A = this chain, B = another copy of it.
């Protein structure tokens, strides 16, 4: 599936299904509005599916897209680059936080090498879709060619399509890549029109000096390329990452399939604003799993008009926040399927 045909398949939410979901919520045995954000979420998911009640969002798969970053050479992260590949091995072995969370909430974990610098050993849940062994340093030149960026976007589209064909009813975004909060900050700055100083954060927990340096690096890259937000592929090529581009495609693929995609933290949020730049209607498929402690994530979610479900001060990535939010999304939809109405339960109304 190409980017072009995917964009052509993305449609607005179905107003009739949303009205039906609102009407159904009003007849269920609970005070009107008492489920707060879950009620509106159920309405949005009915609009996405075009039917009320919408399908229950299970089974669910978190796809963890991994890549490396030339900008790591600018010392924006204290972690060595090989940790990307080491953590991929940890995901494949089931030993990372995202694996533990996925076992808790019943999600499947799939790992996609879209741009890791070091060749990886295979595993049953590791897909080799490496486009390039890490990006170039965006402070020196474009991180990717347009062709490489497009290839990574189409990896993400294909992963989404394949998972949906195999039965997934919810997709969750995951990521791994040492230094990947730096391109995420650059992408969010461009697509939301915000300065680097506002959207750049501490990532894994850098100190004040490293943060100031990281802001300067992001600013230098933006000054060098002056990316045009109306050309999202050009932005991804100039200052993006391979996992950011793949996640953009993954979100667009979910939207084209009318399957909800739970957006994790700041890497996913940067891909979400890129996806919205390609196709504004793709926002209908997005559910913000949590509010990352990384400031760019909140800027991106506000730009998209999305309110996150969880706010626990997490800043791990891997898809951990999306996986933790999965039961909330599933519960919101389950209400429409299973809760009795005042009539059916013989409960008096006020």
A residues apposed to B, CB below 8 Å: 28-38, 77-80, 82-83, 86-87, 89-90, 93, 95-97, 99-101, 103-105, 204-205, 293, 309-316, 320, 324, 327-328, 330-331, 334-335, 337-340, 344-348, 350
Contacts of A312 in B (CB 8 A): 35-38, 309, 328
Contacts of A335 in B (CB 8 A): 97, 100
Question: Taking the nearest CB of chain B, how far is it from the CB of A181, in angstroms?
Answer: 11
Assuming A97-B30, A97-B335, is B344 touching A314 (CB within 8 A)? no
How many copies of this protein are present in the complex? 2
Question: Taking the nearest CB of chain B, how far is it from the CB of A310, in angstroms?
Answer: 7
A95-B345, A310-B328 given; name 12 further pairs at CB < 8 Å.
A35-B316, A36-B293, A37-B314, A86-B345, A87-B347, A90-B340, A90-B345, A90-B347, A95-B344, A97-B339, A99-B339, A101-B334
CA A103 to CA B337, docked complex, whole Å: 12
Assuming A310-B310, A331-B100, A338-B103, is B83 touching A348 (CB within 8 A)? yes
Contacts of A340 in B (CB 8 A): 90, 93, 95-96
CA A344 to CA B309, docked complex, whole Å: 33
Q: Can you show 8 pairs from A to B with CB atoms below 8 A apart?
A: A31-B204, A35-B312, A36-B313, A37-B313, A86-B346, A86-B347, A90-B340, A103-B334
Assuming A327-B324, A350-B204, is B31 touching A339 (CB within 8 A)? no
CB contact between A328 and one of B83, B324, B330 (< 8 Å): that residue? B324
Chain B: which residue is nearest A265 at the CB level?
B34
CA A320 to CA B315, docked complex, whole Å: 27
Question: Taking the nearest CB of chain B, how far is it from the CB of A214, in angstroms?
Answer: 15
Question: Taking the nearest CB of chain B, how far is it from the CB of A54, in angstroms?
Answer: 15
CB contact between A33 and one of B33, B87, B205, B320 (< 8 Å): that residue? B205
Most B CB within 10 A of own CB, among A37, A78, A338: A338
CA A83 to CA B348, docked complex, whole Å: 6
Chain B: which residue is nearest A323 at the CB level?
B331
